[in-house]
């Protein structure tokens, strides 16, 4: 690859460190199947980028149906759970898009929690009676001997298990820790979602700090796969929860999302590649009220469908609340189409291929297509016998779009990280460094902490040189009393 041409000086001085990202493809709204009319209605009403309500609809539909069926994929049966990350700056109307599509879910949660409140009073009475009787039996057993002790043991067995509290009606959480999520699965619903229109609260919160990040990533990876939750803590013992499902939709501002996408642990653990990621072009400045004309009937139909699914009992064990979803198979034509997509994606991952640098995302594209097709199928008909070829074609088109976004944004995240380091160095040179020139070793010894390694320091210096903030000095130039092989003169606004 040829070295980039230096950015020329202008009369105003150096150029700012601007991140340049290639424009993304248009969102394939025509492939949203039964979700399309609601998405278009919300987009027309808010005039936000269509990718925002599209991701909201896919994620909330995934939450609604994930307890009922797992979908056949080329790698075996998998949940239809979807993880989505939508990147949009403040003012893009993320909440306005999310609200109408989440309305049915929020209504269901309110009603379930009111019902839980009524059931809680009855449970408290039943629990008090059970505890009183158990305490009486134990008191008598301590005094008893022989046959009476044996009778007390029989009385305890006859008393039965402690009455279980009515489960929470909550189906979503905003920024749970792993422990909090496990507790919610233990005491509440087996199908949950992490949904936040301020995703930075979760990505920058307690669950994702340096102490908890690895544990949280591993747990969410397991849930995406449909694996059981295993939790071991001193004092609480070991617990395993089977048959739980999780959908995720995080909306985050670019600066937060970029840092997350540049995080090596999130990438190398396979956590990031499990997400359907997009950053749509802004519509700010074009959203005129005279053009707003959302189809309220389509939005109401989405809400009604959501309520119908959420009001349908999920297949689960009443005692353990373990889900037993059925298998949703692929029609033969759908499977053949998915195989062709998977093979083409695999070939593009070969060295030198278009997807060689994003194998994490590319290797999951076929499974994402099957999951999306499963969600569209079940939303249309919760008891559909198969995923049709048309649904699979839609799933593939959407998975291909999100894969192309991942390629585009993964590159941007790396560039952005380099630019962030260079910007930190620029500020340090102009605000803290007392000399008119600088060398690599100055930065390594005394510069910002992220640049205390020579390769990173040299890369940041080169980027500042390219943007005109540094001018290379001739080899042998005397800098601070000695001839230097490599050094730069710093541009200051007094120059």
CA distances from 74 to 31, 81, 368 (A): 21, 16, 11
Which distant-in-sequence residues (6+ apart) come within 8 Å of 270 by Cβ? 221, 360
- Supply the pLDDT for residue 221: 94
**Local structure of residue 138 (DSSP, 8 states):** H
- Supply the pLDDT for residue 236: 58
CATH (residue range 29-115+166-314): 3.40.50
Q: How far apart are CA 45 and CA 432, in angstroms?
A: 50
pLDDT averaged per 10 residues in sequence order, the chain, 495 residues: 42 63 86 97 93 97 98 97 93 91 94 78 77 82 73 78 77 88 89 89 78 86 92 64 95 82 81 93 79 85 97 92 96 98 96 90 96 98 97 98 89 69 90 95 93 92 92 94 94 75
- Supply the pLDDT for residue 197: 84
Q: Are 33 and 394 in contact (CB under 8 A)?
A: yes
Q: Are 232 and 188 in contact (CB under 8 A)?
A: no
Distance separating the N- and C-terminal Cα atoms of the chain: 34
Tell me which H or E stretch contains 337: helix 332-347
Strand-pairing partners, residue 64, are none
- Supply the pLDDT for residue 212: 81
Q: DSSP of 209-278, one letter per residue? A: STTTHHHHHHHHHHHHHTPPEEEEETTTEEEEE-S-EEEEEEEE-HHHHHHHHT-HHHHHTTSGGGEEEE
3-state secondary structure 403-464: HHHHHHHHHHHHHHHHHHHHHHHHHHHHHCCCCCEECHHHHHHHCCHHHCCHHHHHHHHHHH
Q: For residue 350, what are its two tokens?
A: 């070969």
- pTM of this structure: 0.77
- Supply the pLDDT for residue 1: 36
Nearest to 484 by CA among 495, 494, 473: 473
SS3 341: helix
Q: How far apart are CA 468 and CA 7, in angstroms?
A: 7
Q: Are 104 and 311 in contact (CB under 8 A)?
A: no
- Supply the pLDDT for residue 7: 40
Q: Residue 238: left if φ>0, alpha if ψ -120 to 50, beta else—which one?
A: beta
- Supply the pLDDT for residue 102: 95
- Supply the pLDDT for residue 12: 57
Q: How far apart are CA 242 and CA 258, in angstroms?
A: 34
CA distances from 383 to 79, 309, 329, 379, 389 (A): 16, 11, 12, 9, 17
Q: For residue 340, what are its two tokens?
A: 């062709």
Give the dihedral sign, CA 224/225/227/233.
negative
Strand-pairing partners, residue 186, are none
Burial of residue 23, with CB atoms counted within 10 A of its CB: 0-12 exposed, 13-18 middle, 19 or more buried: exposed
SS3 326: strand
CA distances from 9 to 368, 465, 471 (A): 47, 11, 11
Q: Are 464 and 447 in contact (CB under 8 A)?
A: no
- Supply the pLDDT for residue 11: 44
SS3 87: strand
């Amino acid at each position: 690859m040829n070295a980039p041409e230096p950015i020329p000086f202008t009369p105003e001085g150096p150029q700012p460190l601007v991140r340049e990202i290639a424009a993304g493809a248009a969102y394939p709204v025509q492939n949203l199947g039964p979700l399309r009319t609601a998405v278009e209605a919300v987009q027309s009403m808010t005039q936000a980028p269509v990718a925002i309500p599209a991701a909201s609809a896919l994620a909330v539909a995934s939450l609604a149906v994930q307890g009922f069926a797992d979908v056949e994929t080329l790698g075996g049966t998998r949940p239809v759970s979807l993880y989505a990350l939508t990147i949009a700056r403040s003012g893009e109307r993320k909440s306005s898009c999310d609200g109408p599509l989440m309305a049915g879910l929020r209504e269901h949660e309110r009603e379930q929690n009111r019902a839980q409140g009524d059931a809680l009073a009855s449970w408290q009475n039943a629990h008090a009676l059970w505890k009183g009787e158990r305490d009486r039996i134990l008191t008598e057993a301590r005094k008893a001997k022989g046959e009476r002790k044996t009778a007390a043991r029989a009385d305890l067995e006859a008393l039965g298990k402690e009455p279980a509290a009515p489960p929470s009606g909550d189906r979503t959480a905003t920024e749970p820790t792993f422990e909090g999520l496990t507790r919610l699965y233990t005491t509440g619903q087996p199908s949950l979602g992490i949904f936040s229109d301020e995703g930075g609260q979760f990505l920058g919160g307690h669950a994702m700090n340096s102490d908890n990040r690895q544990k949280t990533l591993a747990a969410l990876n397991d849930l995406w796969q449909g694996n059981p939750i295993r939790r071991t803590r001193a004092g609480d013992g070991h617990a395993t929860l089977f048959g739980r499902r999780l959908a995720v939709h995080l909306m985050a501002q670019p600066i937060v999302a970029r840092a997350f996408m540049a995080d090596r642990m999130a990438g190398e653990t396979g956590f990031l590649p499990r997400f359907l990621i997009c950053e749509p072009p802004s519509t700010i400045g074009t959203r005129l009220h005279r053009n707003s004309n959302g189809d309220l009937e389509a939005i109401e139909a989405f809400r009604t469908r959501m309520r119908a699914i959420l009001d349908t009992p999920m297949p689960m064990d009443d005692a353990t609340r373990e889900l037993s979803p059925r298998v949703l198979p692929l029609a033969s034509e759908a499977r053949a189409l998915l195989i062709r997509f998977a093979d083409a994606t695999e070939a593009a991952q070969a060295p030198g291929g278009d997807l060689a640098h994003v194998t994490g995302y590319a290797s999951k594209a076929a499974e994402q297509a099957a999951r999306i097709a499963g969600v569209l199928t079940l939303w249309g008909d919760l008891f559909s016998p198969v995923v049709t070829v048309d649904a699979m074609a839609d799933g593939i088109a959407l998975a291909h779009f999100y894969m192309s976004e991942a390629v585009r944004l993964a590159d941007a995240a790396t560039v952005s990280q380099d630019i962030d380091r260079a910007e930190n160095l620029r500020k340090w040179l102009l605000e803290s460094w007392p000399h008119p020139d600088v060398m690599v070793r100055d930065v390594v010894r005394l510069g910002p902490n992220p640049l205390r390694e020579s390769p990173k320091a040299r890369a940041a210096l080169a980027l500042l040189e390219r943007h005109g903030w540094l001018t290379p000095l001739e080899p042998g130039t005397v800098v601070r009393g000695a001839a230097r092989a490599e050094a730069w003169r710093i541009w200051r606004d007094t120059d």
